[in-house]
Every structure is written in C-alpha cells, then in structure tokens.
Chains A and B, each alone.
Chain A
Amino acid sequence: MSRKKLTRRQFVAATAMSSAALITAPYVRGAYAAGKLSIGFWDHWVPGANDASTAMVKAWGEKEKVEVSIDYITSNNNKIQLTVAAEAQAKSGHDILQMPTWWPHAYAESLEPVNDVMEPLVKQNGEVNGTVKYLGQAGGKWLAVPAIPGSQIKGPCSRIDLMKKHAGIDVQELYPVGAPAKADNWTLDTFLKAAEACHKGGVPFGIGLGETTDSVDTAGAIFQSFGAELVNAKGDVTVKTDAVRQALEYYKKLIAFLPPDAPSWDDASNNKWLISGRGAMILNPPSAWAVARRDAPQIAEQCWTHGMPSGPKGRFAPYLPYFWGLWSFSKNKEAAKSLLTYLSQPSSIEKFVAASGGYDLPAYANMTTLKTWAEEGPPKGTLYHYPNPNNHQTLSIAASPAPPKIAQQIYFQATLTKMALRYAQGEKMEATLAWAEGECEGFMRS
C-alpha cells in the first residue's frame, strides 16, 4: 500500500484554502447563536401563571436564538430578597432578577440603567404612575423595568351581603362594572362608621396591625389620606405635625373596631379572615377572593374588590409594584433588554394578566382596562375596579415620599402600625411621636 507524503507546499496551500473557505462562507446561525440568558422570576402563587411566563420567554428565546433558563423564586420567607442580596454581594447570578418594591433603589449601584427600554415602552403603553417612578427611578435613570407578575393594589375586598346588611352600603353601586366609580361619599368617615357597624354585627373588618406588609400598606394609605408624612421628600423628619396627629387619632378609633388579635396578624391572617366568613372586608389584592373561589365559593360570590375611601388629602390606594432588574454584571445585557421589551408588549401584558386571573397589574396607563378584569367572576366584574381603571385614586406606597432608602426602613420596621398601636394601647400622643421621631432619625444613616 503506497502512502502519499504531504509536502510542505501542499500543506500551506490546503491551510490557506480552508481558511479562505471558513472566512468567506455564509454565516451559519446556530440554535443559540445569541448566547445565554439566566432569569430569576418571582414564583407566582396562581397555578399556571409560571407556565405562561415560561412559554413567553421560550418563544422569545427561540426567535432570538438565545438559550434561556428560568428559576422561579418564592417570596415566602423573603427568599427573593435574600437572592437579590446574595447576587448583589457575589456580583454573579441571574442576568435578570425580579425584585420587589424597594430593592431597585437598595441595589441601585449594581443595576444596569434601562432608560433605553423604558422610554419606548412608556411611549407605547402610556405613562407609569408616580409610585413606579418613585421606586424605579433614581436621578433620572430607570433602575429597573416594572414587572407585571406580582404587582398589586391592596384595596378593599368587601363582602357585598355583609356590607349591605350591617353598614347599609352597596359596594356594587359605588363601584359599578364598566363605569367610573360613584364613590364621592366613600370617605374615611364612612369607612369608620361601616367598620363600627360591622364590628357590632360580629363581622369586623380584617385589618392587621402587625409588622408584615399588609398591615403596613393599609396604615400607609390611611396616613397619606391625611397628608401625614414621617419623613418628607427632602429627607426631613416631619413626625410632629397635625396631619400625623390626625392620622393617629383616626387609627385609634378604627382599632377599637378591629379584631382584638390584629396586632399579631401576618399577611395570611386577613385572607383567612375573609375566606372563613368572619369579616365583612379586608384590604388585599384579589388573592383571598381567588382562594375563596376554590375553597369557599359561596363567600367568593359575595366578594367585590374596589377602591379606597378618601381622606382630607385625597384617596390613596396601597400599591406594590415588582420590577425586573438587570444586573450590571450581566454578560448578555442586549439580550436581556430585548427580553424585557418583549415581556412589556401589550400582547405579553394581556397574557400575564389572563394567566394570573387578573391578579397581576401592569404599571402602564393604557393597560388598566383589559377584558380579564371585566370578565372575571363570580360575581362577574368583581375585579373591574381592581386596576384603578378610572384613576380615581392615587396609587402609593407606605412611607413615601421619603427618600426610598429611608422609606424602606420606615416600611420594614412597620413604624406606622407601631405608632398606631402604641397610641391605641394608651401611650400619650407626644410619647408616641417622640418615639417615632427617634426611630426616623435612626433611619437616616447612609
């Protein structure tokens, strides 16, 4: 068998031809030519909602040739906050990580600005509300993109029958389906009278006075309705004001009509209160109603989600947006921005809202009248006013307008509910205010 020897000249020629072929050949795009993207989404409690997110992300990945991997991280026991803190410390982890309310500001230094994503989205989907700007922007820069899953308003969810029977209020008439709210008389005074009537009727309003978010959010909205701020937007402590005193006086009256164990309530207590049929109203997104639809349908049929009562300084509803943050250490920022844009398109928003049964709220003005909210039931239209379709209330977060890093401390230390509880338990007004002032001064550290 003869063996042909490769000469040096032949080798050089072959190498040159191969190189030329490789360089001049048409670019062949592989399955994942645009790289990898790792995403940490909030683990939705609505069955099937995660599947909808996965399907959307996968469809985008296939179209854009990006290999995507998704982790669903629960918010139970602050797992998602712990993940945010750990990834920010390690400067490694997911490319996109969903983070609640205060976290974009808390980790602003580690987040990639997303103005180039947000500006076109706002033009397309409408303006975002003030709370989204307050939590999502710093120094004119967008720190993160408002996420649809998980974003919620914690307004009243009333029992139609019990409110009629004990308080003489027809909540469906106040908040009719397909029409603007007729809630001019739905004020904090009316709310207090209704709380008293329902308390007398043995079905008290289920409002917590604990240290978890539901309790704090309600207190925040009521304080804001009186114009009460513990720290103003400039960062000055403004505890000892008439507005704060008025809010505390109001809360003291309200606490007398709440369940006696409300100081130990957590975020599940109010849900249980409504589902068990023991109360005429709670302040929560429609999660309690959704669970009642499964476990106690006769109660779900009587639930109506609607707006907050108005106070001397306006009508404020507790609003908690989630955000999609893009880490500055992400290795595929362009792909991440493309995905965030895709997930914020009207068609995607509609899918998120439908998959969550109306629980998830988009932040954009043009996206508050989707058919899901009008059609969900029973009773049909129970969620129509949930997304604030007529903008008749200001969506706000407790402790705002204090600078977010200070407000976060006020929020998580539950300073508002603690003040209300201290005063209601017999502490002197000035002592409560002095305590709160001391706390707020401690929150100023940088």
Chain B
Amino acid sequence: MADVVVEQGQAVRAARARKQASLRNVLGRKSTVAFFLTLPLILLIALLVLYPAVYSVHLATLNKSMQKFVGFGNFLFLFKRDTFWMVVKQSCIFAVTAVFFKALIGFIVAHFVHNIPAKGQRKWRGMLLVPWVIPPAMSTLAWLWLFDPSYSAFNYTLSFFGIGPINWLGDNVWARFSVILVNIWYGAPFFMIMYLAALKSVPDQLYEAAAIDGANWWQKIWYVTLPMMRNIIAITALFSLIVTFANFDIVRILTSGGPLDQTHIFATWAFKVGIEGSDIPLGASVSLFMVPILAIAAIFILRDVSKRGNEA
C-alpha cells in the first residue's frame, strides 16, 4: 500500500515536471516569443483597422435610417445611379493616370539622383522627399492658393507671357488636370526613393557585362534595370494604386468634387453622401465598392512577386 502511494506521488511529480517542461518549451520557441512580441500590434490593428473595416461592411448592409438590414440593397441602388458610374470612371482616371506619372517621374528622377556623386546625393534625396513628408492637407492648401479662382499665382505669372487666365478649378478638364497634378507632385517622391533603393541594389557587374556586350543605355535599362526592379515596381505601383484610389484630402480641398461633380472620386463622394447627406450606409457602400477589385489586383500582383522571388 505504502509503495503504491509513493509510486503515485512520483507519477504526479513526473507529470507535473513534464507539463512544466513542455510549457517552458512552448514559451521558449522563437515563434511563441515572436507572437507575444507582435501581440500588441496585432491587437492595435484589430482595434483600429479590423473593427472599423468590419463595422463599415455592417453599415453598408443597412438602410438609410440604419434600422433595417438590406443586404446588397445599397450596392444595387448605386448601380442604377449615373453619378455613381461617373465617380467610378473618374476614380479610375485619377488613380491610373496619377500612378502612371508618379512611377514615370519617380523612375526618371531616381536615375538622376543615382548618378549624382555619393557626397552630394544625400541633400538631393532630402530635398526631393519634401513634397512627400509635408502633410498633404497643408501642401494642398498652398496649391489651392496657386490655383485660386480669382487670384491665382499661376495665372499672374502666365499673364506675363500673354497666356490665360486659365480657369484651373472651374473648368472640368483643367480641374481634373489640377487634382491629378497635385497628386503626382505629392506621390512621385515616394516612387523616387523606392526606385533609388532598388537601383542601388542592382550589381554593377551586370551593367559592365551589358556594356561589354555592346548594349546602349536603353538596352541597359530594358534588359538589366527593369527586370531587376520588377518586384519593387509592382509592389510600389500596387501600394500607390490603393492609396490613390482612397485619396480624399487633395480633391476635397481643391475642388470638393466640382465643378458639376467632375472631379469626385470614391472618398469625396462617399463623404458627400454619407456625412453631408446623412446617408451613412450609402456612403459606406461607395467607399467599399473598390475593395474587392483592389483585393483581386493585390492577389495577382503579389502572387507574381512571390513567384519571381522563388525563381530567384
């Protein structure tokens, strides 16, 4: 009997020791430590990103007074509105044009900066980043004064050359041009710095080999630089496309969507409908419209990036 008790006691102790050891092992694992270290961020994202996202989906399924579930009713309503399709078209024009020119200008400027001797490069990099580091609400106000309907500094300058006055924000075409221009001005430095980083990582030997093979500057760009930068170009373009589609401040400050709704994009129209028109579910539906399209684009682009990564 006594032996049994002793054996039982030993078994319990052994089980407890095993349990403690396994807990220690779990806690000692790198992945567990990493999980606990990232937990605050995960919670923060869940609170500030996930919850609002889920809540906006919930809002988009309610009727105007937010008392009845209508499923996809708000989207079906939007699909019948001409203004909505105009906003879709304008958002696409705005985002695609702005991203294309941001990428192009960023690419060209990155090459210029890359070719500046290392000693003076830092100050150029700093200066060229200025548009991107100024809060856009502030810098767009400065642009508003430059474009001001009645007292435009641009028009004043152009008047010396006998040009103008140009109705920058009051004419449909010029208003679209102005909002896209400011977006390019604001976003191009981001592309520039990303491309510059990518350029610096291209091994010089590749260019030397291309030169030995008799490649001209265009062939070097086409066959060496661009393939080496493909991933960064894809990721930057995707990231910028998402951010540009969601732009609000530039259009809101410059034109508020006018004249005649010709510069409205998703965010500004969602604000107009949701907040100013007190139709929050419809506003939420407008702002969520692009989510599935951008999500599919993101999946394809990122899949290609990871495929190329694996090939490398």
Q: Residues of A at under 8 Å CB distance from B?
A: 77-78, 81-82, 85, 89, 102-103, 106-107, 109, 209-212, 259-266, 269, 272-273, 276, 278, 405, 408-409, 412-414, 418, 421-422, 438-439, 442, 445-446
Taking a contact as CB atoms under 8 Å apart, the answer to whether A273 and B150 are in contact is: yes
Taking a contact as CB atoms under 8 Å apart, the answer to whether B260 and A263 are in contact is: yes
Taking a contact as CB atoms under 8 Å apart, the answer to whether A272 and B151 are in contact is: yes
Which of B114-122, B200-208, B270-278 contacts its partner? B270-278
19 new A-B contacts, CB < 8 A, other than A85-B280, A259-B150, are A78-B276, A89-B280, A210-B256, A211-B256, A211-B257, A261-B150, A263-B170, A263-B259, A264-B259, A265-B149, A265-B170, A273-B150, A408-B277, A422-B260, A439-B83, A442-B80, A445-B282, A446-B64, A446-B65
Taking a contact as CB atoms under 8 Å apart, the answer to whether B81 and A264 are in contact is: no
Residue B69, interface by CB 8 Å: no
26 pairs across A/B with beta carbons < 8 Å?
A: A78-B275, A85-B278, A211-B256, A263-B167, A263-B171, A263-B258, A263-B260, A264-B149, A264-B167, A264-B168, A264-B255, A265-B149, A269-B150, A272-B150, A273-B150, A405-B64, A409-B279, A412-B272, A413-B277, A414-B258, A418-B261, A421-B259, A421-B260, A422-B260, A438-B82, A446-B64
Chain B residues with CB under 8 A of A209: 259
Q: From B83, which residue of chain A is reached at the shortest CB distance?
A: A439
Chain B residues with CB under 8 A of A272: 150-151
The proximity string for B residues 245-260 relative to A, scoring 1 for CB distances below 8 Å and 0 otherwise, is 0000000100111111
Taking a contact as CB atoms under 8 Å apart, the answer to whether A413 and B260 are in contact is: no
Chain B residues with CB under 8 A of A107: 278
State the main secondary structure of chain B at its contact with A. loop
With A and B bound together, what is the CA distance between A445 and B80 in angstroms? 13
Contact pick for A85, options B168, B261, B275, B282, CB 8 Å: B275
With A and B bound together, what is the CA distance between A259 and B150 in angstroms? 9
Contact pick for A413, options B63, B271, B272, B278, CB 8 Å: B272
Q: From A445, which residue of chain B is reached at the shortest CB distance?
A: B64
Q: A418-B261, A446-B65 are in contact. Are A266 and B276 (CB under 8 A)?
A: no
Chain A residues with CB under 8 A of B256: 210-212, 266
Contact pick for A264, options B83, B170, B271, B275, CB 8 Å: B170
Residue B169, interface by CB 8 Å: yes
Q: Residues of B at under 8 Å CB distance from A?
A: 63-65, 77, 80-83, 149-151, 167-171, 175, 252, 255-261, 271-272, 275-280, 282
Taking a contact as CB atoms under 8 Å apart, the answer to whether A106 and B258 are in contact is: no
- Distance from A11 Cβ to chain B, minimum over Cβ atoms (Å): 49
Chain A residues with CB under 8 A of B169: 261, 264
Q: From B254, which residue of chain A is reached at the shortest CB distance?
A: A264
Q: A260-B167, A413-B277 are in contact. Are A278 and B64 (CB under 8 A)?
A: no
State the main secondary structure of chain A at its contact with B. helix
Chain A residues with CB under 8 A of B260: 263, 418, 421-422
Q: From B78, which residue of chain A is reached at the shortest CB distance?
A: A442
Q: From B276, which residue of chain A is reached at the shortest CB distance?
A: A412
Chain B residues with CB under 8 A of A269: 149-150
Chain A residues with CB under 8 A of B280: 85, 89
With A and B bound together, what is the CA distance between A259 and B167 in angstroms? 11
Taking a contact as CB atoms under 8 Å apart, the answer to whether B278 and A106 are in contact is: yes
- Distance from B169 Cβ to chain A, minimum over Cβ atoms (Å): 4
Taking a contact as CB atoms under 8 Å apart, the answer to whether B275 and A82 are in contact is: yes
Q: A272-B151, A439-B83 are in contact. Are A262 and B170 (CB under 8 A)?
A: yes
Chain A residues with CB under 8 A of B278: 85, 102-103, 106-107, 405, 408
Q: Which 7 A-B pairs have the closest CB atoms?
A: A264-B170, A106-B278, A261-B149, A264-B169, A263-B259, A412-B276, A261-B170
With A and B bound together, what is the CA distance between A82 and B80 in angstroms? 28
- Distance from A414 Cβ to chain B, minimum over Cβ atoms (Å): 8
Q: From A212, which residue of chain B is reached at the shortest CB distance?
A: B256
With A and B bound together, what is the CA distance between A85 and B255 in angstroms? 24
Chain A residues with CB under 8 A of B150: 259, 261, 269, 272-273, 276, 278
Q: From A206, which residue of chain B is reached at the shortest CB distance?
A: B150
Q: From B55, which residue of chain A is reached at the shortest CB distance?
A: A89
Q: A409-B279, A446-B63 are in contact. Are A264 and B258 (CB under 8 A)?
A: yes
- Distance from A109 Cβ to chain B, minimum over Cβ atoms (Å): 7
- Distance from B281 Cβ to chain A, minimum over Cβ atoms (Å): 10
With A and B bound together, what is the CA distance between A243 and B278 in angstroms? 29
Q: A438-B82, A442-B81 are in contact. Are A210 and B259 (CB under 8 A)?
A: yes
With A and B bound together, what is the CA distance between A265 and B167 in angstroms? 11
Chain B residues with CB under 8 A of A259: 149-150
Taking a contact as CB atoms under 8 Å apart, the answer to whether A109 and B65 are in contact is: yes
Q: From B272, which residue of chain A is reached at the shortest CB distance?
A: A412
With A and B bound together, what is the CA distance between A405 and B77 in angstroms? 17
Residue among B77, B149, B275 with max Cβ neighbours from chain A (10 Å): B149
Contact pick for B167, options A81, A261, A273, A446, CB 8 Å: A261
- Distance from A72 Cβ to chain B, minimum over Cβ atoms (Å): 20
Taking a contact as CB atoms under 8 Å apart, the answer to whether B65 and A211 are in contact is: no
Residue among B150, B171, B271 with max Cβ neighbours from chain A (10 Å): B150
With A and B bound together, what is the CA distance between A266 and B171 in angstroms? 14
With A and B bound together, what is the CA distance between A421 and B175 in angstroms? 16
With A and B bound together, what is the CA distance between A266 and B83 in angstroms? 21
Taking a contact as CB atoms under 8 Å apart, the answer to whether B275 and A445 are in contact is: no
Chain A residues with CB under 8 A of B272: 412-413
Chain B residues with CB under 8 A of A421: 259-260
Q: From B282, which residue of chain A is reached at the shortest CB distance?
A: A445
Chain B residues with CB under 8 A of A408: 277-278
- Distance from A441 Cβ to chain B, minimum over Cβ atoms (Å): 10
- Distance from B182 Cβ to chain A, minimum over Cβ atoms (Å): 15
Chain A residues with CB under 8 A of B167: 260-261, 263-264
- Distance from A277 Cβ to chain B, minimum over Cβ atoms (Å): 12
With A and B bound together, what is the CA distance between A266 and B256 in angstroms? 9
Taking a contact as CB atoms under 8 Å apart, the answer to whether A211 and B277 are in contact is: no
- Distance from B258 Cβ to chain A, minimum over Cβ atoms (Å): 5
Contact pick for B276, options A81, A262, A445, CB 8 Å: A81
With A and B bound together, what is the CA distance between A94 and B261 in angstroms? 35
Q: From B175, which residue of chain A is reached at the shortest CB distance?
A: A264
- Distance from A222 Cβ to chain B, minimum over Cβ atoms (Å): 19
With A and B bound together, what is the CA distance between A442 and B167 in angstroms? 31
Chain A residues with CB under 8 A of B277: 408-409, 412-413
Chain A residues with CB under 8 A of B258: 210-211, 263-264, 414
Chain A residues with CB under 8 A of B83: 439, 442
Chain B residues with CB under 8 A of A438: 82
With A and B bound together, what is the CA distance between A263 and B257 in angstroms? 11
